[in-house]
Amino acid sequence: MSSLLTGPVVDLDTGAVIAYPAALDASGRLRAAPLPMLLDLPMRVALAGAGAMAPLHDALRRAGRHPREAILLLHGPCAESDRPVLRVVLDALRNHGYLVGFGGAGGQSAPLDLIADAAPYLVGLAPDVVARAPLDHRATAVLRAVASLAQGVGAHVLAPGVTTEAELAAARAQGARLAHGPLLAPGPDGRIRVPLPSPAESPAESPAMVALGPRVQELLMPAVTLPAAAKAEEVVAAFGHEPTITSVILVDEYQRPEGSLDRGRFLLSIASRYGHALHGSKPARRLADAPRTVPKTTPAVAAMRVAGRDGGRVYDDLVVTDELNRCLGIVRVSDLIRQVTQSA
């Protein structure tokens, strides 16, 4: 299961890296950074059933990673006769905890009505659509259609293989929130620089984005999670790997959030005099706050009210949960503010 990705996946609104490409090597070992990971999954492998997915499950287990940290991006066509099988496969993957997306949308991939029915977390555009969009109004129309579908089902839009600012601007103008490619590769200093959008690039608001704003599910970002029993030094390592990580969520064996560690407060505690000696080898939950959870269907305005209940934690990330109180990801308060003000 190789990766077609070319670099870190970047949140265009904040410049933060939200996931890194990962792959299984020839020996079946998982090669991935500590952040949430994105893996390409050929449709034919998914349709082959549980046995074909066993190497991925085993690789995650050996690497000490949980499916909730992985976004599987399905690529390739799906015949009409295979749709019932795909529905069963997607349900099984979600029950395992994986976030599921579709790649190649607008090209030779799954048809749009199938993508809509699947209600994925992520919809990746076909690379050639992104490449043609700056100079071809037909490609722009395809991009717009895919972005509109994604917004309708609460999915993020990923623009892959971005090489020029014109491509980025065209994708951004239609609502793409995530991107990867040579343009967004880390520089010599290790930093990623996202070109600022022009006013004309702001996507038009839909009638749904009024009053209470979008659901938090539409603003969801993958969470960096660790087991509830993790040591403080493990959290230090997670924060140290990527400067844009704003929080680490401690979860139990069922992926239910048990603690939230804000980057600033946690690192301040560790950096204080004798901080590492006092806390490094101890459970991280000693320094954790109670997670502030919101169901995935919560409107943005209601989520902001949750954020404002504790004056000392107004800007802490909110943890988005499903019907079983399992962690689906996080929502940043800055994203809530941006969406609500744009909808006003």
Which CATH number covers residue 138? 3.20.20.450
Question: Residue 109's pLDDT is what?
Answer: 83
201 inside domain: no
Task: Return the C-alpha torsion angle 97, 332, 315, 223, nearest 10.
Answer: 30
Least confident of 1-15, 210-224, 322-336: 1-15
Per-residue confidence at 251, pLDDT binned at 50, 70, 90?
very high
Pair (251, 103) in one structural domain: no
> Does 198 reside within a domain?
no
Mean pLDDT is highest, among 177-181, 308-312, 323-327, for 177-181
| Structural domain contains residue 330 | yes
Residue range 156-175: average pLDDT? 93
> What is the structure's pLDDT at 95?
86
Average pLDDT over residues 252-271: 91
Q: Is the pLDDT of residue 332 over 80?
A: yes
Q: Which residue has the higher pLDDT, 206 or 90?
A: 90
- Tell me the average pLDDT across 16-30: 79
* CATH value at residue 306: 3.10.580.10
306 neighbors 274 (Cβ within 8 angstroms): no
Domain with 288, as residue range(s), is 218-343
* Same-domain pairing of 311 and 240: yes
- Domain total of the chain: 2
- Kindly state whether residues 170 and 271 are assigned to the same domain: no
142 and 90, same domain (yes or no):
yes
Mean pLDDT for all residues in the chain: 86
Q: What is the pLDDT of residue 36?
A: 84
Average pLDDT (308-322) is 89
Most confident of 76-80, 201-205, 338-342: 76-80
With a cut of 80, say whether residue 28 has pLDDT above it.
Answer: no
In-domain check, residue 213? no
Share of the chain above pLDDT 70, in %: 92
Cα(319)–Cα(294) distance, integer angstroms:
6
- 183 and 235 inside one domain: no
In order, the DSSP letters of 175-200 are T--EE-SGGGS--TTS---PPPPPGG
Question: Any idea what DSSP says for residue 308?
Answer: T
Q: Mean pLDDT throughout 41-47?
A: 92
- Which residue did the predictor score with more confidence, 238 or 33? 238
**Residue 6: per-residue pLDDT:** 63
Among 7-11, 85-89, 276-280, whose mean pLDDT is lowest? 276-280
Residue 145's Cβ-count burial label (10 Å; 0-12, 13-18, 19+) is middle
190 versus 255: the higher-pLDDT residue is 255
130-165 per-position pLDDT tens digit: 999 999 999 999 999 999 999 888 889 999 999 999
Q: Specify the pTM.
A: 0.76
Q: Which DSSP helix (H) or strand (E) runs through 85?
A: helix 83-96
Q: How far apart are CA 26 and CA 35, in angstroms?
A: 22
Strands of 257-262's sheet in order across: 225-227, 247-251, 257-262
Residues with Cβ within 8 Å of residue 137, at least 6 apart in sequence? none
In sign, the C-alpha dihedral spanning 183, 188, 192, 198 is negative
Q: Is residue 207 part of a domain?
A: no
Q: Output the pLDDT for position 143.
A: 94
Q: Would residue 90 count as lying in a domain?
A: yes
pLDDT tens, position by position, 269-305: 988 877 777 877 889 999 999 999 999 888 888 899 8
Per-residue pLDDT, 171: 93
Residue 129 clears pLDDT 90, i.e. is over it: yes
DSSP string spanning 212-242?
T-SBGGGG-B---EEETT-BHHHHHHHHHH-
Give pLDDT, residue 5: 59
The per-residue DSSP string of 161-172 comes to S--SHHHHHHHH
Say if residue 154 is in the same domain as residue 229: no
257 strand-pairing partners: 251
Give the pLDDT of residue 152: 87
Q: What residues contact residue 218 under an 8 Å CB cut-off, 6+ apart?
A: 151, 154, 155, 156
Q: Does 161 share its domain with 250?
A: no
Q: Characterize the bridge pairing of strands 23-24 and 30-31.
A: antiparallel
- Would you state the pLDDT for residue 312? 85
